[in-house]
Amino acid sequence: MKMAPETKKKPIARATIGRVAGCFRPYWRRGIVVAIAIAGTSVLGLANPLLVRQIIDRALPARDLRLLLLLAAAMVAVTLLSGAIDTFETYQTTLVGQRVMFDLRTGLYAHMQRMSLKFFTETRAGEILSRITADVSGVQELVTTTASQILTDAVMTLSTLALMFALDWKLTLICLAMLPLFVYPTRKAGSIRRRLSKDAQIKVADLSAMMEETLSVSGALLTKTFGRQKREIDRFTGLSRDLTDLELKRAMIGQIFWVTIQTFWAVAPALIYLVGGRAVAKGTETLGSIIAFVALQNRLFFPVGRLFGVQVNIQGALALFDRIFEYLDLPIEVGDRPGARPLSASRGEVTFDRVSFAYREGQDAPQALAEVSFTARPGELTALVGPSGAGKTTITYLIPRLYDVGSGAIRVDGTDVREVTLASIGQAVGVVTQESFLCHATVRENLRYARPDATDEELEAAARAAQIHERILQLPEGYETLVGERGYKLSGGERQRLAIARVLLKGAPIVILDEATSALDTASERLIQAALEPLMRGRTTIAIAHRLSTVLRADQILVVDHGRIVERGTHAELYREGGLYAKLVDEQFGAPEAEAPLAPVRETLN
């Protein structure tokens, strides 16, 4: 998968506008209520200029204080009623907008959760976070205020024009003659702002990715141990400066645009007073009509100016919608097939039947696995041995369907894993990796990630079986102790035993071990080996082996080389043959006795 959407330059299609409108479709009833409220406030807004006209032309010349009081009271009443309706409309609009935002955020996050592991290995974490946070936040103004503002301004413009024509069609034509002068600067500013908004979002994604990498515990350790703090600060400063420049340019384009609009707002009333004043002097028009007309003109130019100006915001927001929809449209490469059923894995026997797989598509793509066949049975340990890059990890990735096979089949208790739901296959497989991931939460919460409904007694029983219960009790808050980001408050051996306890609590019939002891000292290894015994007992266990202690206790050893199983058997059988396995043992483990005592080791698994 090649993910470089930010580098594509394409115009916003009508389909994007249609999809944006589709986001509001579930809330159309509230939309009708909002439209009625907007129409009401727009009509009420026409009242004040007409009331001013009556005050100037009738109440003041006649010195009719009673009429003046009534007209003034009417102006206050109209304002209060309009404010009440506007407040109600704002609540409804905000409610709809926030629900649309909720739908976008949750929909995008849920879609990311369904993406295959391939997507996450080829996409920066900061880029994903930017789409879900920065991009969705970037369109918030559009979905919460701009949509209703467009309707408000449109209704206000049409109603105001109708009344202006009724008052004086000649003056109205003068006002309309100026409107085309808004078009060019608006379109130009909109085009530039759209490009700058897109460039700014790319920079935000770059900054998010860099912070994700350098401000995590692992990133901080790397930076400090290599003395690269200044280099990273310089990188961040450069990206931040670029973003600052883009935001400054975007702000100035908007400012220049609005200065232009305000100039028109100043010139237009001057023309009306000039032309209308002559009509008043000739007696063909009243002073109240001219003042009312200027008030209506301001009421016209304000929404028209916003309608033209909103294009600037919409252009930028639609560019962000394009980025959001781009992720929502990414295909789900590994998903539940139609009619998929839950897996009922009572035994957990795993069978690879002539499995081939490539990480990239195409005839020229190198094969990670080719014609791999074997069976891993319950109560047995199957060890995967081979050079780096041989395909061992790929084999373990295919069992829980982190990827789907290219050809052949993987079966659990005789059922093809592609025919069952992903959730059920995930429940049937427990994984302990070299670097077990722990959440920034308490020990208890990390354990309950496997089974949220587990009782405290079950949780502690799993911890005892994993040889970690006593150590947990020694922590400052016991089971309520925060383990820190990725579990960095615990040692490597403690993290591994906690991960083993989590898998024990899960109770999965299939266990995959990416050699949980390869990076530990001898004392920690013994504790981990003791913790693994109850985990493997009665379960189908497949382990990527890096230590001799693992291969010695294996019931079958599969030697993988260039994506193929080239040798299989027990340690004694394979070492006696003197092939690739014997070479690996001599190079990686040191030459052992060919007839290693295996029986006592096997007894611990039964």
Note the pLDDT of residue 73: 92
pLDDT band at 377; cut points 50, 70, 90: very high
Q: Are 529 and 547 in contact (CB under 8 A)?
A: no
CATH 1.10.357.10 fits 350-603, yes or no: no
Q: What are phi and psi of 514, to 5 degrees?
A: -95, 70
* 73 or 594: which leads in pLDDT: 73
The answer on pLDDT for 190 being more than 70 is no
Q: Which of 44-53, 188-197, 385-394 has the highest mean pLDDT?
A: 385-394
Given a cut of 50, is residue 375 above it in pLDDT? yes
Buried b or exposed e, range 131-168, using 16+ CB within 10 angstroms: bbebbbebbbebbbbbbbbbbbbebbbebbbebbeebb
Averaged pLDDT for residues 223-238: 80
Residues paired with residue 383 on neighbouring β-strands, in sequence order = 543, 557
Looking at residue 4, its pLDDT comes to: 39
Report DSSP state, residue 418.
G
- The tokens describing 502, both together, are 């989590």
pLDDT at 605 over 50: no
Q: Where are the beta strands (DSSP E) in 261-368?
A: 350-357
- Out of 209-223, 375-389, 487-501, the most confident range is 375-389
Phi, psi for residue 348 in degrees, rounded to 5: 95, 20
Q: How confident is the model at residue 333 (pLDDT cuts 50, 70, 90)?
A: confident
pLDDT at 379 > cutoff 60: yes
- CA gap 384, 382 in Å, rounded: 7
Q: 11-328 adopts what CATH topology? A: ABC transporter transmembrane region fold (1.20.1560)
Q: What is the mean pLDDT of residues 384-398?
A: 90
Best CA proximity match to 553, nearest among 515, 497, 507 = 515
Crossing angle between the packed helical segments 217-225 and 180-214, to the nearest 10 degrees: 70
Across the range 286-306, mean pLDDT stands at: 76
The set of long-range contacts for 173-178, using a CB threshold of 8 Å and a minimum separation of 24, is 174/271, 174/272, 174/275, 175/268, 175/272, 175/297, 175/300, 175/301, 178/264, 178/267, 178/268
Residue 374 scores a pLDDT above 90: yes
**Confidence tier at 376 by pLDDT (50, 70, 90):** very high
Confidence of residue 385 (pLDDT cuts 50, 70, 90): very high
Percent of the chain surpassing pLDDT 70: 87
Q: Does the pLDDT of residue 390 top 50, yes or no?
A: yes
Quote the CA–CA distance of 355 and 274 in Å, as a whole number.
86
The percentage of the chain sitting over the pLDDT mark of 90, rounded to a whole number, equals: 13
Of 90-94, 193-197, 326-330, 346-350, minimum mean pLDDT range: 193-197
State CA 569 to chain mean position distance: 46
Tell me: pLDDT of 254 over 70. yes
Confidence of residue 407 (pLDDT cuts 50, 70, 90): very high
Looking at residue 183, its pLDDT comes to 60
Could you give the strand order of the β-sheet that contains 350-357, starting from the edge strand earlier in sequence? 369-376, 350-357, 407-412, 415-416
Angle between helices 287-328 and 169-178 (to 10 degrees): 40
State the average pLDDT over residues 364-370. Answer: 84
Residue 601 banded pLDDT, cuts 50, 70, 90: very low
Asked whether 416 and 433 are in contact (CB, 8 A), the reply is no
Which pLDDT band, with edges at 50, 70 and 90, does 97 fall under?
A: confident
Residue 440: predicted pLDDT: 81
Strand partners, 565: 560
* 3 state SS of 391: coil
Q: What is the mean pLDDT of residues 244-249?
A: 88
Tell me the pLDDT band of 354, cut-offs 50, 70 and 90: very high
Per-residue model confidence as pLDDT tens digits over 27-80: 888 888 888 888 888 888 888 888 888 888 888 888 888 888 998 899 899 889
Q: Is the pLDDT of residue 602 over 50?
A: no
Q: Which residues of 4-42 are buried (b: 16+ CB within 10 A; e: fewer)?
A: eebeeeeeeeeebeebbeebbeebeeebeebeebbbbbb
**Given this model, what pLDDT does residue 595 score?**
38
60: which 2 tokens? 């003041």
Q: Is the pLDDT score of 182 beyond 80? A: no
pLDDT-derived band at 405, boundaries 50, 70, 90: very high
- Per-residue pLDDT at 308: 67
- Mean of the pLDDT values across residues 327-350? 85
The per-residue pLDDT for 525 is: 66
- Range with lowest mean pLDDT among 180-189, 380-389, 518-527: 518-527
Q: Which residues contact 32 (CB under 8 A, 6 or more apart)?
A: none
β-partners of residue 482 are: 442
Question: Which tops the pLDDT comparison, 434 or 378?
Answer: 378
Residue 560 binned pLDDT confidence (cut-offs 50, 70, 90): very high
pLDDT tens-digit series, residues 426-445: 889 988 887 777 888 888 99
CA-to-CA distance for 171 and 276, rounded, in angstroms?
8
Give the model's pLDDT for residue 13.
59
**Whole-number average pLDDT of the chain:** 80
What stretch(es) of the chain map to CATH 1.20.1560.10? 11-328
The encoded tokens of residue 360 equal 């990239």
CA dihedral 226, 227, 230, 236 (to 10 degrees): 30
Cα 590 from chain centre: 48
Q: Pick the residue with more confidence: 358 or 152?
A: 358
Phi, psi of 408 (to 5 degrees): 85, -160
Please work out, in degrees rounded to the nearest 5, the angle formed at the alpha carbon of residue 317 by the alpha carbons of 314 and 323.
140
What is the pLDDT at residue 516? 60
Integer Cα distance of 77 and 68 in angstroms: 14
Distance CA 132, CA 320 (A): 11
Say which residues have a Cβ less than 8 Å from residue 67's Cβ, sequence separation at least 6.
Answer: 54, 58, 59
| Residue with the larger pLDDT of the pair 316 and 554 | 554
Helix (H, G, I), strand (E, B) or coil at 371: strand
Q: Which of 6-20, 188-202, 276-290, 538-552 has the highest mean pLDDT?
A: 538-552
pLDDT score of 9:
45
Average pLDDT over residues 532-542: 83
Please, where in the chain does CATH 3.40.50.300 lie? 350-603
Q: Which residues of 283-317 are buried (b: 16+ CB within 10 A; e: fewer)?
A: eebbebbbbbbbbbbebbbbbbbbbbbbbbbbbbb
Which whole-number Å values give the CA distances from 484 to 211, 216, 489, in the listed order? 18, 11, 5
pTM: 0.68
